[in-house]
Amino acid sequence: MQDREGLKPIDWLVTSIKPALSSIIAILGSIIAGSIVLALSGIDPAFAYYTIFYEALATDFGITKTLVEMTPLLITAVGLLVCFRAGIWNIGAQGQMLIGTLFANVVGYSLGPLPTPIILPIVLVAGAIAGAAWALPPAILKAKLGINEVITTLLLNFVAINLIKFLIKGPLRNVAEEHPQTYPIVKSAYMPTFFGTQIHVGILLAFVIAAAIYFLMVWTKLGFQFKILGESIKAARYVGLPISRLIILAFIISGGAAGFAGAIQLTAVMRNVNPAWAPGYGLEAVPLVFIAKMNPIAVIPLSILFAVFLVGTDIMHRTTGVPVYFIEIFLGIMLLLFAVSEVVQRFRVRKVREAGV
């Protein structure tokens, strides 16, 4: 009926780049803005970026560290992705991770020295269960009473931070140590590593989980229903989806992922918890998922990129004295740029949509 031409390559390029446009702008823009900040503090930006990438990717030590840092980020991010896709703004991953880690820690020393293939999965699953449990109150409040989850999950972050401080200094304190900290997990619960490096099995698990979430969102009925719910609650009602159940399930998946990520960190890196431990993964994963545009594949390279910057700036800080908060400025600018370019784009899209019928 219509002159219908096949999709030209240039069209294809445009249509495939367009969705990623604001993410690309955000990343490139923050690198540029970051160089201005660096230049203003009297550091050669080219040298700084070279150092960041070199240290994080080109040395054995750096690349190991990058992968280790990427692991909790990636797992938390794919969990959050499920929630965000379902239109649920869980920003309590930080608290869910803390609680998950602490519980995994307790399980990891109180079960006694069982063989690794038994105890390690138990500890990891314990982390996931505790993380999911911590996500449950906001989930139920939202599903049953419609209470806004942004507020409840955020508040529970503070509750979690203070709760674990209290527990570590009080009931769970390792009395043998001078500074407050918990008992370490038993040796057999340590995450195995490859060939004496620090590259551990948890890194593989992170990729497996990311693949599983991709599969969930793209190929399963459940993932499809999350997407319907996230796109339009009206459509979800029209279709008759079990909305409360989906909300609770999304919370459980993302809380569980955060707790699992914490348990991996515990078994692979930390071995016990001290009150100074304040992981940023749960917070960093939020902008990460947005900048990945909630795409389960894009989350992987972005987690690596985030990890590169985290590790690179950390090493650079130690060697050249660039302030550590550079990374925070950097991520802040990235999120800001992303938000602005999204709003600009969305505004145009919205106008076109209004017009579109």
Interacting residues with ligand ATP (CB under 6 A): 2, 356
User: Closest CB to other proteins among 187 and 237?
Assistant: 237
Sole binder of other proteins in the list 239, 278, 297, 344 (CB under 8 A): 239
222 contact, one of ligand ATP, other proteins, none, CB 5-8 Å limit per kind: other proteins
Map residues 2-21 to x or -, x wherever contact with other proteins holds by CB under 8 A.
xxxxxx---xx-xx------
Map residues 201-230 to x or -, x wherever contact with other proteins holds by CB under 8 A.
------------------xxxx-x--xx--
DSSP structure string for 288-353: HHHHTTT-TTTHHHHHHHHHHHHHHHHHHHHHH---TTHHHHHHHHHHHHHHHHHHHHHHHHHHHH
15 contact, one of other proteins, ligand ATP, none, CB 5-8 Å limit per kind: other proteins
User: Closest CB to other proteins among 17 and 28?
Assistant: 17
Q: 162 CB contacts (<8 Å, ≥6 apart)?
A: none
Smallest separation (angstroms) from ligand ATP to the CB of 188: 59
Contact 259, 102 (CB under 8 A): no
Interhelix angle 326-355/281-291, rounded to 10 degrees, is 40
Smallest separation (angstroms) from other proteins to the CB of 13: 10
Smallest separation (angstroms) from ligand ATP to the CB of 2: 6
Cα(184)–Cα(182) distance, rounded to whole angstroms? 6
User: Closest CB to ligand ATP among 2 and 16?
Assistant: 2
DSSP structure string for 233-291: HHHHHHHT--HHHHHHHHHHHHHHHHHHHHHHHIIIIISS--TT----HHHHHHHHHHH
175 contact, one of ligand ATP, other proteins, none, CB 5-8 Å limit per kind: none
Cα(152)–Cα(98) distance, rounded to whole angstroms? 16
Smallest separation (angstroms) from ligand ATP to the CB of 26: 24
Cα(71)–Cα(264) distance, rounded to whole angstroms? 8
- Give the binding site for other proteins (CB under 8 A): 1-7, 11-12, 14-15, 219-222, 224, 227-228, 231-232, 234-235, 237-240, 351-357
